[in-house]
With several copies, the nearest count.
Chain A
């Protein structure tokens, strides 16, 4: 029997080692696997390289992971957001590294990593400071920069429903980076609001096929980051 279910968020993140590269789904609050992130804080792994579009808000979730000094480097497109103070402070003090990547290039690099494409060309960033030091190639009369695929030791994502094989569907714009991070993670760990048996998700509507998923943990009623931020909650 195939069974990817694990009993708790703590069990799910237990194998994440110091120094690991961890992709974390979500665009702002939408899709952020906040219970998995909090479990990762409890777990204690440090010197992490974290890939996420942002750097979290307030003092919970990804911001708390950063605030607790677990993250050596962020790879993201937009490290500033409303209520985002943790990353800027550490960055200004030189205590955290930043690799700034245009959002579409970030998405394509993650997808490439998951698809076994080691590198590709894109017109994005040509002629800007973010192309400095990168190989530029003219193809059919237009300049493109060479970008490399990104993979991760672990991907932490959130979904709406998962079946026993790890097939996933999502809710609205919470889908965002999760399907491509599931592809790019050597071990992909999913928190799902609902867990069902194989066959209960129509094969035509599966967004992430189970082949990309290693562990599934049920979090039926996930916390809402924005509510925690509004209440000025601090984790842990």
Chain B
């Protein structure tokens, strides 16, 4: 319950993640909260957003009346293209990803382990329909993988854990995590606090983290 009244909301998490994206970066945004990052490029910077379905220079949602159902993002939402954009096919798009040309990817997560393992595509439930999309390609190919996620599940389970119990998306891939409570880095020594959300203290975050959180 507390998680919903203290800390950052979804927009603020996206805004916080956007602060760390440098001028000129090529950035891919996952589905969900990461999609919101596109709105928060800090003043004075230019960032080029890549969507894996074939566009560099993705802009925000179109104004009413300017929608084109053939101009969408990886989440299949309507978007726009900025001046200086480029369209390309799927193999070229994933060449950008697999070939280490994208600087930063911001993804959602089910679990992140203290060694940087990421699980974000499957709960491993045998009754569920497996679906992976481009997540495994992104974590294998993009230079820096950042995650935006609630610190805990709806049931209060920690999502930052010592070891992922869900099937992995990638091994040792995550650099930084933006949650509603804190910004946390993955380091050789495990999770390390970078920044606390307003009104949140270290113990509060540690309590909701599934393993040791090193102080900033």
Contacts and interface: CB of A to CB of B under 8 A. Distances in A.
- A touching B, CB within 8 angstroms: yes
Given A2-B23, A123-B98, A123-B141, A173 B83 contact: no
Interface in B124-140: 127, 129-137, 140
Interface in B98-142: 98-102, 122, 127, 129-137, 140-141
Contacts of B141: 104, 116, 123-124
A166 to B, nearest CB: 9
Contacts of B89: 107, 175-180, 207
B149 interface: no
Contact of B95 (A31, A176, A183): A183
A165 interface: yes
A45 interface: no
A128 interface: yes
Interface stretch (B1-9, B47-55, B189-197, B199-207): B47-55
B168 A104 contact: no
Interface string A157-179: 00000011101001111111111
Interface residues of A, number: 73
A200 B136 CA distance: 35
Interface in A27-65: 27-31, 53
A92 B126 CA distance: 10
B171 interface: yes
Contacts of B169: 128
A19 interface: no
Which of A91, A104, A171, A206 is the most central at the interface, judged by chain B CB atoms within 10 Å of its CB?
A104
Contact of A125 (B69, B96, B99, B140): B140
A104 B52 contact: yes
B63 interface: no
A195 interface: no
B97 A206 contact: no
A212 B101 contact: yes
A203 B55 CA distance: 9
A128 B136 CA distance: 9
Interface of B: 23-24, 26, 46, 48, 50-57, 68-72, 76, 81-102, 122, 127, 129-137, 140-141, 167-171
15 contacts: A2-B48, A29-B69, A80-B131, A92-B129, A102-B132, A103-B133, A105-B136, A107-B93, A107-B94, A110-B91, A122-B140, A125-B136, A173-B72, A177-B90, A211-B26
